[in-house]
Amino acid sequence: MTDLSTDELRRYARHLAIPEFGMEGQRKLKAARVLCIGAGGLGSPITMYLAAAGIGGLGLVDPDVVEVTNLQRQILFGQKDLGRKKLEAAREHLLDINPHLDVQVYPELFTAANAMRIAADYDVIIDGTDNFPTRYLSNDVAVWLKKPNVYGSILRFDGQVGVFAPHLGAPCYRCMCPQPPPPGLVPSCAEGGVLGVLPGLIGTMQALEAIKLITGIGQPLLGKLLHVDTLSMRFRTLTLRRDPDCPVCGNTPTITEPIDYQGFCGISAAAPEVPAMTVHELKQLRDAGDDHFLLDVREPHERAISYIEGAVLIPLGELDNRAKEIPRGRRILVHCKSGGRSARAVSRLRELGFDDVWNISGGIIAWAREIDPTMAEY
């Protein structure tokens, strides 16, 4: 059994005082290694609480740098970290919390090419991501490696937590969600927003589930999905059942190695070709007095934050019903926040018979950064 140093005995005194936890639980934590995929809103409380609790090894996967919009919820980072690689800043902070921690960082995307290699040396996998391809990938890898997969998701005011582990008799994520939703149906946190304290709540629960799995205390959420509605502070626990026909954990699995997860989730490796122009080209057209119709397909609450003068707001979800408000015979330039929704709008307008339709690459965020730095970003 892993020994604890004199400093560790003092550090974890409040754990050691719990009869159901004590020395045995603390030694199990020190001997364990946890992989956290994502060092953002969920990854921040997950890694900070695991570090403080005395986990022995912690792996973090995230390719991003710290941006100002992260600071509303990603408590691993502060103002001084803006522009730094997330994992560089995260490692520094986590070792400040607990110098006994062994931190391994993977500043790369978690992909079908590297997932098995990265996850192999860890005892528990925690999914702190916000996209469906990575959720399915982390699930499948956890099933194949027989590791518990601690799942969490957040959007606006609601969150979910669960533990997927077929080798422990529980279902996997695919049993709950056999097929991903159509692309664009479920907004990301960047598009839909998230209350800053929500990932703190859900991520802390994920850290707690990992501790329970490692130490054997309590009843982990195996075969359960906990749904949290923070506006009413209502907690609902749903029972999940393993699907005997699941293609990954079922009786006769058909998926036994990593697949094209982007394609499985309907995200083409090469996005559908739509005519596009940069924000600089848009500015040149506006400065030259070009006759065009600028269409904003964001939501009203987004326009209240910032807008490009003269743009007409028709949210993407209302496009079909309000297409008659868009003039024919003029050039249509479409923007959203960063270019994703507007690309879908361009494709739909072309299907509706509009010919001269263009997507503004990078959306209003690119306009704010490259054309009008006084404009608010969100």
Which of 36, 172, 265, 336 is the catalytic position? 336
The token duo for 256 is 């036994």
Strands 224-229 and 234-239: antiparallel
Does the annotation mark 336 as catalytic? yes
**Which residue in the list 36, 172, 175, 189 is annotated as catalytic?**
189
**Inter-CA distances, 308 with 208, 215, 269, 296, 349, Å:** 45, 54, 31, 9, 21
Query: Which residue's structure tokens are 């528990």?
Result: 124
Single-letter residue type at 42: L
Looking at residue 320, its amino acid is: D
Residue type, 281: E
- 246 included as an active-site residue: no
Separation between Cα atoms, residue 153 and residue 194, nearest integer Å: 11
What DSSP string describes 332-359? EEEE-SSSHHHHHHHHHHHHTT--SEEE
Let me know the angle formed at the C-alpha of 45 by 72 and 59, rounded to the nearest 5 degrees: 120
Which residues touch 117 (CB under 8 Å, ≥6 apart)?
A: none
Catalytic residues: 189, 336
